[in-house]
Amino acid sequence: MTDVTPQVAAGTKLIQSYGPGRFTIDGTVYAGPVLVFADRVEAWQVTDFASLTVDSFAPIRAAIPAVDVVLLGCGPKQLFLPRSLRRGRQEIGFVLDAMETGAACRTFNVLLTEDRRVCAALLPV
């Protein structure tokens, strides 16, 4: 039998599951919006997709090491970035890719196994 479990460093925060209002990440359940980095999970102080601004991403801009890609999980369906975020992309300082939350969770895990500097900014489904 061949083991296909992704090989990641100990302590890496793989997203195991998501459901209504919550996420299971590295064995811990988190309620509400979260920011998932390779080495930590933080509550994300946002209320919904429509309220996102450039300032909503300040904790990610402050991350050390710097993040190259942010996967924005929009909730149960993919949404287009608000005009203010489309215009502010250069100010943000990283690639911001919006998709439905399930796709963001799966893509985050894949990019982690490739040692990419990625963050998942997740709104619950």
Domain limits, the chain: 15-122
Q: Which residue has the tokens 């608000």?
A: 82
* Residue 2 confidence (pLDDT) above 70: no
Q: How far is Cα 65 from Cα 113, in angstroms, rounded to an integer? A: 17
Q: Which residues contact 4 (CB under 8 A, 6 or more apart)?
A: none
Average pLDDT over residues 40-56: 94
Q: Between 91 and 122, whose confidence is greater? A: 122
State the number of CA atoms in the 13 A half-sphere of 78 facing the CB.
7
What does each C-alpha distance from 84 to 15, 46, 81, 94, 100 come to in angstroms?
A: 29, 16, 8, 15, 20
CATH 3.40.50.2000 fits 15-122, yes or no: no
**Token reading at 110:** 């894949």
Q: What mean pLDDT comes out for the span 27-55? A: 95
Per-residue confidence band for 34, with pLDDT thresholds at 50, 70 and 90: very high
Average pLDDT score over residue span 37-65: 95
**Model confidence at 3, in pLDDT bands (50, 70, 90)?**
low
Per-residue pLDDT, averaged over 47-63, amounts to: 93
